[in-house]
Amino acid sequence: MGEKVFMQGNAALAESAIRAGCRFFFGYPITPSSEVPEYYAEKAPQENLVFIQAETEVAAFNMLAGVAATGKRVMTATSGPGFSLGMEAVSYMAAAGLPAVIVDVMRPGPADGDILAAQGDYFQATKGGGHGDYNTLVLAPYSVQEMADLTMEAFDLAFKYRNPVIILSDAMLAKMRESLVLPERITPNEQYDWTITGPKGRKHNVITTCGDGPVQWENYNLALQKKFKEIAANEQRWESYQVDDAEIIIVAFGSVARIALGTIKKARAEGMKVGMIRPITLWPFPVQAFAGLDQQEFFVTELNAGQMVEDVKLSVKDKERVRFYGRMGGMIPTPDELYEKLCEYYRK
Amino acid sequence: MKVIYKRPQVLTDAYFKYCGGCGHGIVNKLIAEIIEEKNWLEKSIIIWPIGCSVYADQYFNTDSICALHGRAPAVGTGIKRALPENLVIVYQGDGDLVSEGISEIMHSAIRGEKFSVVFINNAIYGMTGGQMAPTTLLGQKTTTSPYGRSVEFSGSPVNMAELIANIPGCYYSERVAVNTPQNILATKKAIKKAFEYQMDGKGLSFVEVLSPCPTGWKLKPTKALEFLSTEMTKIYPLGVFKSPEVAK
Amino acid sequence: MNSVKIDFDRCKECGYCVQFCPNQVLVNGSEINKKGYYPPVVEKSEKCIACAICARVCPEAAIEVIKDING
């Protein structure tokens, strides 16, 4: 365990990546993620980092692919508009088996939108925002501590499965300051048998996503699907709060989950049996968390027009028991506002 | 008996998928010869584009990665920054370098990335069936310029070797052609220089190679060479546009 | 005698080696290969000076040139 500090979310994420041995960062400034490249730029000389401010997000994401192909750890950070630009490269990295960490600090869309907190990139991140059949792990921190912890893990997971990993943050988490314990520094392994490093003492390696006829390309896809099924089976993560006796279960991730903790407190004080399931992996969606919860009502609340709610409906037996409340544009509900909604929906 | 010329061992046994008379085959061969002569195989990493050379990873015993369309210089930036001692070759055609990836190549030159670029200019998009390229000549007929390229809709052909030469981060820029034995030798010299500069730790080295596309131009290979010799060199003059000697 | 060996099934009959040989050693062939091309053949092998221009212009790297150093 490292030292206890008081830090901003973006900075904690960047510091954790450095401690995870991620020496390479390529990115394009975009609010609310710019503190991540700025942190890397400042620490570069003392930590021997390679920081390049790429000309576009398209370039940045493809630089990631290059470093990842050599077996070294690399990261980018962006927001919705830049995330969209990078989607072809995410499809490419998943198909090519290139491990990299991509941070999307969500802000309201669509298009340029605004710069406060939102969760409207859920579909894009979890359903594969790029083309073709592929998936990426999506991790959703809800505190500055998780910004650090999940970043550390993201690199391990990326290399475990040879796949890009997305960290889905938002403007509020990025900018808030909290106490946290920083992770300890590690020296990652960079030697793998599949990397592009020059064919010294081994047969040459090729990384390509260009299919050579339908038979070969279907087989390649079947192998990829096997990889994603393995991730889906082994990496579902969530946290449950007072679910055991709950009649109403809030389902929320990231910043909204924090707000919902206040809602649960108030609701319980008023005699409502409310709990929460907080997905930590948005892909694979933690369907296991919903097992056996056939009698409960599910209140899904997000900062979007209704995205994760679809996955909740797929995860429960009776989708009629799933209700949604969302805010958009950067508007953030208070714990009281969510409590009032619970009353409106469930108190007869 | 003395072997004067034999197929470079840096090439695999795979048959090239290029059309008969294609310039890619000649340049691929030259790259293989250079890597073999300089004994750089163990250091070599080639980044292939989307285009007719998309399967060239099958032809080489080097490490290879095939990048997304236009993005080879960005992938090359990542690889060369991670592995500065390696020989990193960015190989692109006109769609890849001049159209889809013009931002990536310009900014790689701006940053002075230390890899070598081999740019195959055949004034057309070969792989996708012969559409117009930004390098297509005015009046040249292609499937997307069936009446001949017009300035009004498509502007004029782009001279990349000169453009790149004007960027301070570019260390070396030359245009060559593979239309005659002498020019093929000059092409090999230019590419070899580009690789040597890289291994000496110098900035971006850029070699533009005028190349025939018999299928796209709808000309027999030997006729295609004529078109290259008489028409292409008018718009794309051969020569050195940036060199360390000149810079001094 | 110097010799030029053309890899029969690699050849795509582009004609460059025939065109650029300074001594017209190679001529168009009449035997068809696997891909439907007619690779060139050596007609005047005594005229071959092992300059290897044929090998250098070949886009398939299909040609090998051997010099007879004994004469």
- Residue B248 pLDDT > 50: no
Q: Which of C37, C57, C64 sits opposite B7 (nearest CB)?
A: C64
Q: In B99-207, where does DSSP find H-type helix?
A: 102-111, 151-154, 160-165, 181-199
Q: Which two tokens stand for residue A27?
A: 């990115």
A229 has pLDDT over 60:
yes
Torsion of CA B95, B97, B102, B104, to 10 degrees: 130
B61 and A CB contact within 8 Å: yes
**Domain shared by A75 and A191, yes or no:** yes
Eight-state DSSP code of residue B47:
E
* Domain membership flag for residue A213: no
> pLDDT category, A288, cuts 50, 70, 90?
very high
Question: Could B221 and C14 be called an inter-chain contact, meaning their C-beta atoms sit closer than 8 Å?
Answer: yes
Distance (Å, whole) CA A16 – CA A254? 18
Distance CA A40, CA A24 (A): 9
**Co-location of A268 and A227 in the same domain:** no
Q: Classify residue A131 by its DSSP letter.
A: S
Q: Is the pLDDT of residue B247 over 70?
A: no
Choose the closest CB to A66 out of B48, B64, B74. Answer: B74
CB-based contact (8 Å) between B41 and chain A? yes
Q: Which two tokens stand for residue A227?
A: 């990889």
Is C13's CB within 8 Å of B185's CB? no
Quick one: A82 and A32 in the same domain? yes
Residue A63: what residue type?
M
Inter-residue contact B56 to B15 (CB < 8 Å): no
Chain B CB contacts of C19 under 8 Å are 222, 225
Q: Is residue A152 included in any domain, yes or no? A: yes
- Please report whether residue A212 resides in a domain: no
- Note if the bond before A164 is cis, omega within 30 degrees: no
Q: How many CB atoms lie within 10 A of CB A291?
A: 11
Instruction: Kindly state the percentage of chain A with pLDDT values over 90.
Output: 98
d(CA A91, CA B22): 31
Q: Which of C2, C8, C12 to mutate to test the interface with B (most CBs of B within 10 A)?
A: C12
CB proximity list for A226: less than 8 A, separation 6 or greater: none
User: Which of A26, A54, A196 faces B65 most closely, judged by CB atoms?
Assistant: A196
Contact of B63 with chain A, judged by CB distance below 8 Å, is answered with yes
Residue B85 and residue B102: Cα distance in Å, rounded?
26
- Domains parsed from chain B with CATH numbers: 23-247 (3.40.50.970)
Please check whether residues A177 and A317 belong to one and the same domain: no
- pLDDT at A332 (0 to 100): 97
Same domain, A286 and A228: no
The overall average pLDDT reported for chain A is 97
Residue A245 falls inside a structural domain:
yes
Q: Each residue of A23-82: pLDDT tens digit?
A: 999 999 999 999 999 999 999 999 999 999 999 999 999 999 999 999 999 999 999 999
Contact yes or no for C20 and B18 at CB 8 A = no
| Nearest by Cα to A125 from A97, A155, A104 | A104
B13 touches chain C (CB under 8 A): no
B74/A74 CB distance under 8 A = no
Distance CA A99, CA A90 (A): 10
Beta bridge partners of A206: B64
The phi and psi torsions of C57 (rounded to 5 degrees) equal -90, -10
Write the DSSP assignment of A197-253 as a string of letters. S--SSS---EE-----SHHHHHHHHHHHHHHHHHHHHH---EEEES-TT-SEEEE--
Residue B237's CB: how many other CB atoms inside 10 A? 13
**Mean pLDDT for the stretch of residues A198-220:** 97
C3-66: CATH architecture: 2-Layer Sandwich (3.30)
pLDDT value for B135: 98
Q: Which of B219, B216, B103, B227 is nearest to B164 (CA)?
A: B103
Indicate the residue of B19, B32, B221 with minimum beta-carbon distance to C16: B221
Dist. CA B172–CA B139, nearest whole Å: 31
Q: Kindly state whether residue A204 falls inside one of the protein's structural domains.
A: no
Token pair 């579909």 in the structure block, residue? A123
Q: Do A85 and A229 have their domain in common?
A: yes
Residue B173 reports pLDDT greater than 70: yes
Pairwise CB contact (< 8 Å): A206 & B54: no
- For the record, the structure tokens of C11 come out as 């050849």
Residue A215 within any structural domain of the chain:
no
Query: Do A193 and A97 reside in the same domain of the chain?
Result: yes
Query: What is the bridge-based pairing of β-strands C26-27 and A101-106?
Result: unpaired
B101 interfacial to chain A (CB closer than 8 Å): no
Cα–Cα distance for residue pair A120/A307, rounded to 1 Å: 7
Q: Which residues of A touch B (CB under 8 A)?
A: 24, 26, 50, 52, 54-56, 58-60, 62-70, 72, 74, 88-89, 92, 96, 196-201, 204-210, 212
Q: Where are the domains of chain C?
A: 3-66
* Tens-place pLDDT, residues B9-23: 999 999 999 999 999
- pLDDT tens-digit map of B192-233: 999 999 999 999 999 999 999 999 999 999 999 999 999 999
Selection from A266, A292, A278 nearest residue A240 by Cα: A278
Place B124 in a pLDDT band, splitting at 50, 70 and 90: very high
How does pLDDT run across B34-93, given as a tens digit for each residue? Answer: 999 999 999 999 999 999 999 999 999 999 999 999 999 999 999 999 999 999 999 999
Contacts with A308 (C-beta within 8 Å, 6 or more apart), sequence order: A119, A122, A251, A253, A279, A282, A285, A300, A302
Interface test with B, best of A49, A196, A202, A203 (most B CBs within 10 A): A196
Cβ atoms < 10 Å from Cβ of A234 = 10
A290 occurs within a structural domain:
yes
Helical (H) or strand (E) element with B177: strand B170-177
Specify the pTM: 0.96
User: Residue B184 in contact with residue B190, Cβ under 8 Å?
Assistant: no
Could you give the number of structural domains in chain A? 2
Tokens describing residue B84: 């500065």
Chains touching chain C, criterion 3+ CB pairs below 8 Å: B
Residues of chain B contacting A210 with CB distance shorter than 8 Å:
50, 54-55, 66
DSSP labels, A16-29: HHHHTT--EEEE--
Q: Assess contact for B129 and B143: CB atoms under 8 A.
A: yes
Residues A29 and A88 in one domain: yes
The reported pLDDT for the residue numbered B246 is 57
**Whether A155 and A258 share a structural domain:** no
pLDDT at A128: 84
Residue among A239, A252, A245, A237 at smallest CA distance from A342 = A252
| pLDDT value, residue A347 | 87
Amino acid at C32: I
Tell if the CB–CB gap between B4 and C65 is shorter than 8 Å.
yes
Relative orientation angle of helices A87-96 and A57-69, to the nearest 10 degrees: 10
Relative orientation angle of helices B23-37 and B181-199, to the nearest 10 degrees: 50
Q: How far is CA A63 from CA A41, B81, B105, B130, B217, in A?
A: 17, 10, 13, 30, 35
pLDDT tier at A219 (50, 70, 90 boundaries)? very high
Residue A226 sits in the same domain as residue A246:
no
Distance CA A229, CA B242 (A): 53
Q: How far apart are CA A334 and CA B216, in angstroms?
A: 64
Distant-in-sequence, close-in-space partners of A155: CB < 8 Å, separation ≥ 6: A17, A20, A21, A22, A73, A99, A101, A165, A188
Cβ of B20 and C13 within 8 Å?
Answer: yes
CA-closest candidate to residue B35, choices B71, B3, B59, B15 = B59
The residues near B114 (Cβ < 8 Å, ≥ 6 apart) are B80, B84, B88, B198, B201, B202, B203, B204
Say whether the ipTM exceeds 0.90.
yes
Average pLDDT (A98-107) is 98
> What CATH number did the domain enclosing A300 receive?
3.40.50.920
Owning domain of residue A38? 4-199+222-234
Closest to A100 in 3D by CA, of A173, A32, A21, A162: A162
Residues of B in contact with A24 (CB under 8 A): 78, 81-82
Whether B119 and B97 have beta carbons less than 8 Å apart is answered as yes
- Banded model confidence at residue A320, pLDDT cuts 50, 70, 90: very high
Residue C59 contacts B where some CB pair is shorter than 8 Å: yes
Residue C69: pLDDT band by 50, 70, 90 thresholds?
confident
Number of H helices, E strands in chain B: 11, 8
CB contact under 8 A, A204 and B75: no
Residue A1: the pLDDT is 77
